[in-house]
Amino acid sequence: MIIDLPSTTTSKVNQKLVELRERGGAVALGRVLTLVIVTEDGATIEDAVDAANEASREHPSRIIVAARGLREAAPRIDAQIRVGGDAGASEVLVLRLYGPLAREAESAVVPLLLPDAPIVTWWPGAAPTEPATDPLGRIAQRRITDAAAEADPVAALRRRVTSYTDGDTDLAWARLTHWRAQLVAALDLPPHEPVTAATVTGDSDSPSTELLAGWLAYYLRVPVRRERASDAPGIVSVSLERASGSVDLHRPDGKVGILRQHGQPDRTIDLHRRSLSDVLVEELRRLDPDEVYERALHGVGLLPHNQEGATA
C-alpha cells in the first residue's frame, strides 16, 4: 500500500500512521531500529529503499527517507507512506523536503523517529565530510557511508581516516568481508611463516581495494603495494609474500576467485561482488564501534601514496 500526502506536515504523517494501525494493524510495531536514509530529491532513491526493504527482513525497521529538494523553493514536505508489500518487513516514510526544510532535514525527521529504538543514518550517495557532526549523524548510534558512491571514491575514503568517530562505518568495508575471511583462513594453514610483503591490485577508483590494503598494512606491519588494474572492477588480487612462496588470491572476473599457496592444491572460491542489500544487512547487525574498521582506516594512512602504480 502506498499513500501520498502532498504538502503535508510531520504531525499529519504521524496521524496517518496511527490511523493505519488502528484500522487493522497495517503498520506493525516491534521495530528494532529506525533507519534514516539521506539523499537528494531527484536522485535515484529506489535502489536504497529496495536494499533497506530487503535488510528489514532481518532487521525490522522504520525507514525514513529524507530527500532534499530545491533550497530556493517555498518550505514544503511531500510525504509518501509505504506499508505492507511495498515496504518489506518495515514501514517506509519518504519525505521530499523543500526550501529551509531541505537544509534542516532533522526538524522533519526527529518527530517521526521510533521512541526508544536505536537510530542508524545512511548516506547512499555523497556524505558529509564529517558524518558524526552532521545533524542527522549526531542523532544516530551508527552512521553508514558509501565511498564507492562518491565522485572521487578513494579521496572520500581517505577523508574518513581523519574524520572517523566511533559508530562510523562504510559499505566499502562490508564488501571486504569474504576477502578477509579467505586470507585469514589461508594464513592459518601450514607453513606458518610470517608475511614479508603484500601487494593488493584493484580498480584505481575502488575504495574497498584501498581499505583491504590498509587492513593488511595495519595488522601485518609489512610494506603493502597498491597496484592499479584497469581491466576488472573492484578488487582483482592479493599476494602475500612468504619465504616458501606467496599466497595468491586472484579474482579476474568479479565472481570466482582462485587461491594458490605453496604446499596446498589450488582452490576455487565464490567471490561474487556483494549486493547493496547484502552489505547493508551486515552493517545493521552491529551498533557498537567497529574497531577493526577503524584500524583498517589507520592502515590506509600508512600506505605510500606516491609509489608507481599506487593510487594517490
Residue-wise pLDDT for 81-99, tens only, equals: 998 776 666 789 999 999 9
Q: What is the longest distance spanned by two Cα atoms in the chain? A: 70
Residue segments in the chain with a per-residue pLDDT below the cut of 70: 24-30, 43, 86-89, 305-312
Locate 3 and state its grid cell.
499513500
Helices (H) and strands (E) in the chain, counts: 11, 14
How far is Cα 53 from Cα 61, in angstroms, rounded to an integer? 9
96, 66 Cβ separation under 8 angstroms: no
State pTM to two decimals.
0.92
Q: pLDDT at position 309, please?
A: 41
SS3 state at 294: helix
Q: pLDDT at position 84, please?
A: 77
pLDDT digits (tens, 9 = 90+) for 279-308: 999 999 999 999 999 999 999 999 986 444
How far is Cα 60 from Cα 31, in angstroms, rounded to an integer? 5
Locate 213 and state its grid cell.
590494503
Q: pLDDT at position 1, please?
A: 86
Domain layout of the chain by residue ranges: 2-170, 177-302
Q: pLDDT at position 208, please?
A: 97
* Strand 119-122 versus strand 61-68 pairing type: unpaired
215, 296 Cβ separation under 8 angstroms: yes
Q: pLDDT at position 120, please?
A: 98
Q: pLDDT at position 308, please?
A: 40
**56: which DSSP letter?**
H
Best CATH choice for the domain 177-302 from the list 1.10.3720.10, 3.30.360.10, 3.40.50.300, 3.40.50.800: 3.30.360.10
How far is Cα 34 from Cα 64, in angstroms, rounded to an integer? 7
User: Taking phi first (over 0 means left), then psi (-120 to 50 degrees means alpha), and beta for anything else, what does residue 285 get?
Assistant: alpha
Angle at the Cα of 262 from the Cα atoms of 259 and 263, rounded to 5 degrees: 105
